Chains A and B, each alone.
Chain A
Amino acid sequence: AQSVTQLGSHVSVSEGALVLLRCNYSSSVPPYLFWYVQYPNQGLQLLLKYTSAATLVKGINGFEAEFKKSETSFHLTKPSAHMSDAAEYFCAVNTGAQKLVFGQGTRLTINP
């Protein structure tokens, strides 16, 4: 069965600092991996996805993630945090069953 683990339910960084949100997956077949962002009182917006093309994936708002098969990881990074990045971030995996399995979510707080 596929699963996703996000390390750290809450991450706090200073404005301008590196953002690193961790995601590890478990899958017996090559996965599709996604990062979604949820701003307060809103639905989910796709940040980026990995679908077996390039292992380094660039998304919206300056975010990127690297798929590392050997580490079963898909960590999300951004070189310089902005106040507007404060939100809940979800990692999700799909292995062709046409449904997503989500991680527990990481709340990102940006300190001025």
Chain B
Amino acid sequence: SAVISQKPSRDICQRGTSLTIQCQVDSQVTMMFWYRQQPGQSLTLIATANQGSEATYESGFVIDKFPISRPNLTFSTLTVSNMSPEDSSIYLCSVDDGTVINYGYTFGSGTRLTVV
């Protein structure tokens, strides 16, 4: 299955600033997903990113707040814009490398974001 490198692993940011999270995959994948895990909560899908097209956002998430780039089949970024303390969460990227039946969806190790 694919191996994902996610950066940064953690950060502490000032409110009003923006943070860009990177997700690098060791193989070409069609679909990449970005999730948010708020403290003590489950994972909620933010958006699905396909190469060469606009990301598809889930209800409650908007492009202005969470712009996503997907320049090629191995890389994606998620930006958390104009941050507030409510954005403090773990952000995880995930991929479907076409082997869901064998390996399930693979997740990055996450970015733990604290907004102060």
Report A's interface with B, CB cutoff 8 A: 32, 34, 36, 41-46, 49, 51, 90, 94, 98-105
Contact at B43–A99, with CB atoms within 8 Å? no
**Is the C-beta of B92 less than 8 angstroms from some C-beta in chain A?**
yes
Residue of A nearest to B101 (CB): A51
B43 is contacted by which of A41, A98, A102 (Cβ under 8 Å)? A102
Q: In angstroms, how far is the closest chain B Cβ from the Cβ of A84?
A: 19
Contact at B92–A43, with CB atoms within 8 Å? yes
Chain B interface secondary structure, helix, strand, loop or mixed?
A: strand
Residue of B nearest to A35 (CB): B104
Contact at A105–B42, with CB atoms within 8 Å? yes
Interface size on B, residues (CB 8 A): 23
8 A-B pairs within 8 Å (CB atoms) are namely A34-B104, A34-B105, A36-B107, A43-B109, A49-B104, A51-B100, A51-B101, A90-B42
Residue of B nearest to A52 (CB): B101
Q: For the complex, give the distance between the alpha carbons of A99 and B94 in Å.
A: 9
If A36-B104, A51-B100 are given as contacts, then 14 extra A-B residue pairs at C-beta distance below 8 Å, sorted by A number, are A32-B100, A41-B112, A43-B6, A44-B43, A45-B107, A46-B105, A49-B101, A94-B100, A94-B105, A98-B31, A98-B96, A99-B48, A100-B45, A105-B42
> A43 to chain B: which residues have CB within 8 Å?
6, 92, 107-110
Contact at A98–B101, with CB atoms within 8 Å? no
Q: In angstroms, how far is the closest chain B Cβ from the Cβ of A69?
A: 18
Q: For the complex, give the distance between the alpha carbons of A4 and B44 in Å.
A: 12
A46 in contact with B109 given A99-B48, A103-B42 (CB within 8 Å): no
> A103 to chain B: which residues have CB within 8 Å?
42
**Is the C-beta of B61 less than 8 angstroms from some C-beta in chain A?**
no
A46 in contact with B103 given A41-B112, A98-B31, A98-B96 (CB within 8 Å): yes
